[in-house]
Amino acid sequence: MQKNKTTVSFLGLGTMGFPMAGHLANAGFEVMVYNRTESVADRWLQTYQGVKALTPAEAAKNAEFVITCVGNDDDVLNIFSGETGIFSTLPDGGICMDHTTTSATLAEDMAGFAKELGHQFLDAPVSGGQAGAEQGILTVMVGGDADAYEKAEPVMQAYAKSVKRIGEAGFGQRCKMVNQICAAGVIQGLAEGLALAQKSGIDADTVLGALQHGAASSWQMVNRTQTMMNDEFDFGFAVDWMRKDLGICLEEAEKLGLELPMTKGVDDAYALLQKAGHQRSDTSVLIKQFDLFDKENDVS
């Protein structure tokens, strides 16, 4: 494979970031990686060609593009700021793409900070989960300046099926909020439907065979009907992370004076599931909420 001379630093080699950085290396980019737990970066280098940085500052020092995929708002602030942060060494005109799901306010603030320092910052949350990251077919929703987006899009195409600029800074995050609200609603609908099917004694394969090509069909129905009915909930995107995302959605809605009753209800159901020990279960574990309700209502 011909080497691409474009230098890209990828910071955050978690469930999503590890394969995403791998796709960049496989596409021929010159990749430097950083991870807070150094052994994870070492493991990445056993699989892909690249270089390891020991600090965010070292990772950013000679990079044309810096990509981050970390946990939450505080993690983004920490990795960019301070003496060992990205902004301390990033070359003038450097472009940052943050794939973390954060608040829109943080994205706007980071874009402002970057501009003051002579850099460009794109909020670019992703959808598609662990499988999408591993297969390189993520959807990327981008907020930020159009010229920075045009330069960054070919880089993000290495691990994405769809990359779309939604608008100015913060709009990528707001689009991700819409995505998570819609996803939560679909999972809740499927959970309720399958709960009814279970109580009625209908087999999961029968449900899927009858409905998967109709108006009720969805990715969740096709891929999670059988696993939900089999009590299998180990597919990457955990309840803890969905609750973080839904919290961001509800906070944004409150700022806008908007009520989101379905989103609030699903968030409450996930909160109960967390207390029951399902913090790291896949979001499709929502079907187990009915088991919790049955236990609460059991007076025998």
Q: Which domains does the chain have, with CATH numbers?
A: 4-168 (3.40.50.720), 174-297 (1.10.1040.10)
pLDDT band at 299 (very low <50, low <70, confident <90, very high): very low
Is the separation of the CB atoms in 175 and 140 below 8 Å?
no
Give residue 124's pLDDT: 98
Is the separation of the CB atoms in 60 and 9 below 8 Å?
yes
CB atoms within 10 A of CB 206: 10
β-pairing verdict for 120-123 and 65-68: unpaired
* Token output for 116: 């003051």
Phi and psi, residue 270, nearest 5°: -65, -35
Is the separation of the CB atoms in 121 and 111 below 8 Å?
yes
Give residue 300's pLDDT: 43
Q: How far apart are the first and last CA of the chain?
A: 67
Active site residues per annotation:
176
Coil, strand or helix at 88: helix
pTM (two decimals): 0.93
What is the C-alpha separation between 247 and 226, in angstroms, rounded? Answer: 29
Average pLDDT, integer, range 134-142: 98
Q: Residue 104: is its pLDDT beyond 60?
A: yes
Digit-coded pLDDT (tens) for 16-33: 999 999 999 999 999 999
- Nearest to 126, CA basis, from 154, 99, 152, 106: 99
What is the C-alpha separation between 97 and 80, in angstroms, rounded? Answer: 12
β-pairing verdict for 51-52 and 138-143: unpaired
Residue 24: partners with Cβ closer than 8 Å, 6 or more residues away: 8, 10, 31, 67, 155, 158, 159
Q: At what angle do helices 171-200 and 239-255 cross, to 10 degrees?
A: 120
- Nearest to 181, CA basis, from 247, 104, 88, 229: 247
Q: Residue 187: is its pLDDT beyond 60?
A: yes
Scanning the structure block, which residue is given the tokens 């044309």? Answer: 64
Q: Residue 280: is its pLDDT beyond 50?
A: yes
What is the C-alpha separation between 8 and 26, in angstroms, rounded? Answer: 13
Q: Residue 15: is its pLDDT beyond 70?
A: yes
Q: What is the 8-class DSSP label of residue 87?
A: G
pLDDT band at 2 (very low <50, low <70, confident <90, very high): low
What is the C-alpha separation between 84 and 88, in angstroms, rounded? Answer: 7
pLDDT band at 292 (very low <50, low <70, confident <90, very high): confident
Q: Residue 222: is its pLDDT beyond 70?
A: yes
- Nearest to 245, CA basis, from 142, 165, 175, 176: 176
Q: Residue 4: is its pLDDT beyond 70?
A: no
Coil, strand or helix at 30: strand
∠ CA 162-163-169, nearest 5°, is: 150
